Amino acid sequence: MARDTSESNPGRLKQIAQTYKMTKRVDSKVGLVLAAVGIVTFGVILAIGFLIGHEIYAGILGFLLALLAMAVVFGRRAEKAAFGQLDGQPGAAAAVLDNVGRGWSVTPAVAMTRSQDVVHRAVGKAGIVLVGEGNPNRLRGLLASEKKKMARIVVDVPVTDFIVGNGEGEVPLKKIRTTLMKLPRVLPGPKVTEVNDRLRALGDLMSNMPVPKGPLPKGMRMPKGR
């Protein structure tokens, strides 16, 4: 048991170090911000401790709260940096979808144009979600065609679609997971499995051509959003 813990700690520390290096490349002030958060949090709690006559206990509590505050701030800035690196790159939406979490089955590149506008598909208790990535004008026709195909195969399952981007009516990359999580759950587990089986029988572009799932930064796991 102790051996397992000792072996896992270096791995976690290495991952944190890699995440910090990745974040610092994008956010050069992350170190200063974390230090400021830690010092201010510790200082405030310690000052309260002196006022009430429990500076030792306050110092211990302040140290722990400072670490917690730094972890929260670091997590948010690392998330922002990761999305910043992915934003605008081919396959970015597929990379985020792959890390949405349990309950969703994702199939990248179920449809594509010659200009590399791509539609990805996610299936979960909210039904079928088609996510377009590329030029919005070309994607609208591609999404409409894919929705018609879905309607013929699974007539009793809701199909939602949206385009990833920062324009009007589009969903920013960092909000993909939030958007999926907000969709109403209308399908029971067995129905989701049935829909997945029917759609897999169709095949997709991935079975015929290699399409990268997305450029995740080396050593970095995609955050799950908030």
Q: Kindly report, residue by residue over 50-62, the tens digit of the pLDDT.
A: 899 888 999 999 9
Cα 39 to Cα 140: distance, rounded to the nearest angstrom: 51
The residue behind tokens 């930064």 is: 217
At 203 the pLDDT is 61
At 208 the pLDDT is 44
At 206 the pLDDT is 43
Element (H, E) at 128: strand 127-133
Residue 211 has pLDDT above 60, yes or no: no
Exposure string over 56-87, b if 16+ CB within 10 A, otherwise e: eebeebbeebbeebbeebbeebbbbbbbebbe
30-52 vs 55-86: helix crossing angle, rounded to 10: 160
Cα 17 to Cα 125: distance, rounded to the nearest angstrom: 37
Q: CB within 8 A of 158, min separation 6: which ones? A: 126, 127, 128, 186
CB atoms < 10 A from the CB of 16, how many? 13
Residue 220 has pLDDT above 50, yes or no: no
pLDDT tens by residue, 127-168: 999 999 888 888 999 999 998 888 888 888 899 999 988 888
At 214 the pLDDT is 47
Residue 128: name the closest of 152, 156, 158, 170 by CA: 158
Question: In the β-sheet with 127-133, what is the strand arrangement from edge to edge?
Answer: 105-112, 118-124, 127-133, 159-164
Amino acid at the residue 4: D
Question: What is the 3-state secondary structure of 78-107?
Answer: HHHHHHHHHCCCCCHHHHHHCCCCCCCEEE
pLDDT tens by residue, 71-129: 999 888 877 777 666 666 667 787 788 777 778 888 888 888 888 889 999 999 999 99
Residue 173 has pLDDT above 50, yes or no: yes
- The model's confidence at residue 207, banded by pLDDT at 50, 70 and 90, is very low
- The model's confidence at residue 19, banded by pLDDT at 50, 70 and 90, is confident
Residue 212 has pLDDT above 70, yes or no: no
CB atoms < 10 A from the CB of 198, how many? 14
Cα 146 to Cα 94: distance, rounded to the nearest angstrom: 17
